[in-house]
Amino acid sequence: MEHLTDIEIKEIETFALSIRISIIEMLIAAGSGHTAGPLGMADIFATLYHKVLVHNPHDPHWNKRDRVILSNGHICPVLYATMAHNEYFPVEELLSLRKFKSRLQGHPHREYLSGIETSSGPLGSGLSQALGMALAERMDDPYTQKYFYCFMGDGELNEGQVWEALMHAGKEAMRNLIVVIDRNNIQIDGFVNDVMPIEPLRQKFESFHWHVIECDGHNISHIHQAFGEAKSSALPSIIIAHTIPGKGVHAFEYDYRWHGNPPGKGPENFWKKQDQAKNALNELRSLGGRLNDMTR
């Protein structure tokens, strides 16, 4: 893929900021949900949907589309916000997150919302689903140009099923399967290395015959280049995206306690609960003229 221009990078940064603001607004309206992971993945989803993914928001079932499989379904606010800002559905509907009869469930449900490829919730199963879909596509068309993007959390790598799928995908040399690992170093019970250490990741993945790429998950140019490298590989690819949980709101960053808490119910070491929602939105909205701060 061609390198992004400065104008294109600025467009994606602006898109990512809109996604982050929507994430906070959704979580406030819901009164529950996950904060850290969605905020941390906004730059990656903005880049994917804006410049990489082959898709058609006005025809979500278009046969030639790429597929996005969200294995770590709890970060769905970032997927929903990205889709809404791409006109899959009205942005106003984002405020129905987790509400009774809403299409935007706390984990994605493919029968509720067009553009969702799989229902997810139980961690560890998404890669097997993505692999099965990619294998079926290759059986139909050995020369297929469709790509299957599977998103996973680093804490999710504790699940044994993940490694079975990794082994099989490597054996089959699934070149059109691209996995993005949100390497934010946290999970709901603490820091990943305290709960269950997973390093050395690169060497583990490479031993399973995967092409491994590491990138700064907040540098738009690096993210774009990582996707381009993955698409040119003859092997299945894993992008280890080093991200900051809670990126964009300083009080939320790096703190695992924001993994599963929305603004208004999080830790009070920076802000009182009653101030968290307002302060988070004010901080994000004030970044409009300082987008480079988001990719430091």
Domain boundary assignment for the chain: 6-295
Pairing of strands 67-70, 177-183: unpaired
Q: Read out DSSP for 46-104? A: HHIIIII----TTSTT-TT--EEEESSGGGHHHHHHHHHHTTSS-GGGGGGTT-TT-SS
Cis peptide preceding 200, ω within 30 of 0: yes
3-state SS assignment for residue 6: helix
Per-position pLDDT tens, the chain of length 296: 789 999 999 999 999 999 999 999 999 999 999 999 999 999 999 999 999 999 999 999 999 999 999 999 999 999 999 999 999 999 999 999 999 999 999 999 999 999 999 999 889 999 999 999 999 999 999 999 999 999 999 999 999 999 999 999 999 999 999 999 999 999 999 999 999 999 999 999 999 999 999 999 999 999 999 999 999 999 999 999 999 999 999 999 999 999 999 999 999 999 999 999 999 999 999 985 455 454 44
218-236 pLDDT, tens digit per residue, is 999 999 999 999 999 999 9
pLDDT for the residue numbered 287 = 81
How far apart (Å, rounded) are the C-alpha atoms in residues 256 and 246? 9
How far apart (Å, rounded) are the C-alpha atoms in residues 242 and 251? 19
Closest CA to 19 of 212, 287, 214: 287
3-state SS assignment for residue 223: helix
How far apart (Å, rounded) are the C-alpha atoms in residues 70 and 119? 8
In terms of phi and psi (left: phi > 0; alpha: psi -120 to 50; beta: otherwise), the region of 44 is alpha
Q: What is the DSSP letter of 232?
A: T
The alpha carbon of 92 is separated from its chain's Cα centroid by a whole number of angstroms, namely: 21
Report CA-CA distances (Å) from 231 to 49, 116, 211: 15, 22, 11
CATH number of 6-295: 3.40.50.970, 1.20.120.1200, 3.20.20.70, 3.90.1150.10? 3.40.50.970
How far apart (Å, rounded) are the C-alpha atoms in residues 1 and 177? 17
Token pair, residue 114, equals: 């067009």
How far apart (Å, rounded) are the C-alpha atoms in residues 87 and 84? 5
First and final C-alpha spacing in the chain: 24
Bridge partner list, 211: 237
Q: Read out DSSP for 247-277? A: TT-TTTTT-GGGSS--TTSS--SSS-HHHHH
Q: What is the DSSP letter of 16?
A: H
pLDDT for the residue numbered 30 = 98
Q: What is the C-alpha radius of gyration for the chain, rounded to an integer number of angstroms?
A: 18
How far apart (Å, rounded) are the C-alpha atoms in residues 52 and 231? 10
pLDDT for the residue numbered 295 = 46
Are 20 and 248 in contact, with CB atoms under 8 Å apart? yes
pLDDT for the residue numbered 296 = 41
